[in-house]
Amino acid sequence: MKIVVIIGPTGVGKTKLSISLAHYLDAVILNADSMQVYRDMNIGTAKIKESEKEGVEHYLFDICSPSEDYNIYKYQKDGRKLLKKFQEEDRNVIIVGGSGLYIKSLLYDYRFQEEEITNDYVNLSNEELLKEINKYHKTDIHVNNRKRLIRELNKIKNNNQVKSDVNQKMYDFKIIGLTTNRDKLYEIVDNRVDLMVQEGLVDEVRRLHRKGIRSKAIKTGIGYKEIYRYLDGEISLEEAINLVKKNTRHFIKRQYTFFNHQMNVNWLDVDFDNFDNTINDAIKIIENN
């Protein structure tokens, strides 16, 4: 089984490249975008359209409601189940998306505790609680503040319960990153947001707004949280759209920082005039042992 990861900011051609490489490798595609797991959030997440899939099997798209709290632990569980299945079937996999932590949790030795420790420590005195905390780090919590001492010790226990080696790979894979110069990228972002609005972004968000959905997906999703503010009467539509563009640019900066510090990426400068050149460059990376 070959695993290829395609990363990069919005609008640089991840979807187009993923489809081309899926045909080349006879591979399936797994989503690694934390927002594209949600149904009814299509335009704002730049989710691949059915007409663009070209018969390639896609997984981990549209798997939960926007009102649900889907998280990195659930993604790892769902993703690794699929990877195990495709490994047994000897099928190639392309993972595509821009959520760096989702990718790392899937492919590296990230271990999560399924349930949080919520011990009330009735057998320990305040002094003993404080002594236990000080084994891990010094704290300024007062010895008489039992509630805070319990909360702090539970937090410590949860964080230390499961050991991970987040730089240890669980699979063999190659990461291909698509990029372009910053001015071009910001131009793409602005045009992409304008196109989303033309394609019905406001109506898409309004449908969620009318249902009263105020979930984490809405509160954190770029393109959704800003339009919600417009629909709530806090800002004008023009202000909301400008905020979407601004927040997208800031998000891209954070993406690059994460990818460059956390992953070994083979970066490709996208040839927008002849995308076939980008596809061929990606194939060379895949075939280069």
Q: pLDDT tens digit string along 200-256?
A: 999 999 999 999 999 989 999 999 999 999 999 999 999 999 999 999 999 999 899
Q: Give me the residue spans of the domains in the chain.
A: 3-112+166-287, 126-161
pTM of the predicted model, to two decimals? 0.82
**pLDDT at 118 exceeding the cut of 70:** no
**pLDDT at 163 exceeding the cut of 60:** no
Residue of higher predicted confidence among 121 and 181? 181
Both structure tokens of 174: 């190659």
Query: What is the structure's pLDDT at 124?
Result: 84
Q: Give 180's pLDDT tier (boundaries 50, 70, 90).
A: very high
3 state DSSP class of 176: strand
Q: Which fold does the domain 3-112+166-287 belong to in CATH?
A: Rossmann fold (3.40.50)
The residue to which tokens 């698509």 are assigned:
178
Query: What is the structure's pLDDT at 151?
Result: 86
Pairing of strands 27-31, 58-59: parallel
Task: Give 60's DSSP letter.
Answer: S
Lowest mean pLDDT among 17-26, 104-113, 117-126, 197-206: 117-126
Residues 6+ apart with CB under 8 A from 273: none
Q: What would you report as the CA-atom Rg of the chain, rounded to the nearest whole angstrom?
A: 22
Q: Within 13 Å, how many C-alpha atoms sit on residue 141's CB side?
A: 22
Look at phi and psi of residue 71 and say left if phi exceeds 0, alpha if psi is from -120 to 50, else beta: beta
**pLDDT at 285 exceeding the cut of 60:** yes
Query: What is the structure's pLDDT at 120?
Result: 79
Residues 6+ apart with CB under 8 A from 14: 6, 7, 8, 96, 97, 98, 178
Pairing of strands 108-109, 165-169: antiparallel
* Mean pLDDT estimate for the chain: 92
Query: What is the structure's pLDDT at 25?
Result: 97
Tally the residues of the chain.
289
- Taking alpha carbons only, the member of 62, 15, 68, 10 closest to residue 40 is 62
Query: What is the structure's pLDDT at 262?
Result: 86
**pLDDT at 166 exceeding the cut of 80:** no
Contact 137, 155 (CB under 8 A): no
As a whole number, mean pLDDT of residues 53-77 equals 95
Contact 28, 56 (CB under 8 A): yes
Query: What is the structure's pLDDT at 168?
Result: 86
**pLDDT at 115 exceeding the cut of 60:** no
As a whole number, mean pLDDT of residues 2-31 equals 96
Alpha-helical (H) ranges within 62-169 are 72-88, 100-107, 126-134, 146-161
Lowest mean pLDDT among 75-84, 162-171, 246-255: 162-171
Query: What is the structure's pLDDT at 114?
Result: 57
The residue to which tokens 């891209």 are assigned:
252
Q: Give 35's pLDDT tier (boundaries 50, 70, 90).
A: very high
**pLDDT at 193 exceeding the cut of 70:** yes
Both structure tokens of 37: 């797991």
Q: How far apart are CA 160 and CA 11, in angstroms?
A: 39
Q: How far apart are CA 168 and CA 238, in angstroms?
A: 46
